Amino acid sequence: MKNDLDLIKIAEQEFTLHGGIHNLDHGISHWHRVKELGRYLAKYTGADTKVTDYFAYFHDMKRENEGHDPYHGLRAAQLIYKLHDGGELDLSKMQWIQLTIACIFHCLPEDESKDITIKTCYDADRLDLWRVGVTPDPSLLNTAKAKEPESIEFAMKLYENWKK
């Protein structure tokens, strides 16, 4: 697996939003929190943490703006395909499929995957809505663990600690 530094190098080349990877809404601090939230949830859901870790870094990497950008997940999946095809990502076929699907559909709250790893990816991202002043809505979360008040509170405290 690529380590965080390798993924950050990729992000420095690929992420073009204002502020680069240090963009507050969709940059590296968000990605680190999504990674931590994915690992937190995976302890309870059994999700594949290799996929949730990659998702954390790739899901917003190809955003073109801060607002409505419905194809940023698809562009991220295209980058994943290119890197995987080039041998730069150490993923099994199943992991590659999970990661690609999670990236493509993560911004569609109505998407309901049956795959626990994909659900965990979605929830790890949605639990970090605190960064844009939004309290995560349990009805838009996918896993029982993410819907628990203690998980929403964990995410809030994680964000508050990052703000400091």
* Radius of gyration in angstroms for the set of CA atoms belonging to the chain, rounded to a whole number: 14
* Contacting residues for 25 by C-beta, under 8 A, at least 6 apart: 66, 131, 132
* Contacting residues for 123 by C-beta, under 8 A, at least 6 apart: 37, 41, 141, 142, 143, 145, 146
* Domain architecture of the chain: domains with CATH: 4-163 (1.10.3210.10)
Q: Along the 164 residues of the chain, how does pLDDT read in single tens digits?
A: 467 778 778 877 887 777 766 666 777 889 999 999 999 999 999 999 999 999 999 998 888 878 888 889 999 999 999 998 888 888 999 999 999 999 999 887 677 789 999 999 999 999 999 999 999 999 999 999 999 999 999 999 999 998 87
User: Model's pTM, two decimal places?
Assistant: 0.91
Q: Which residue has 């994915």 as its token pair?
A: 38
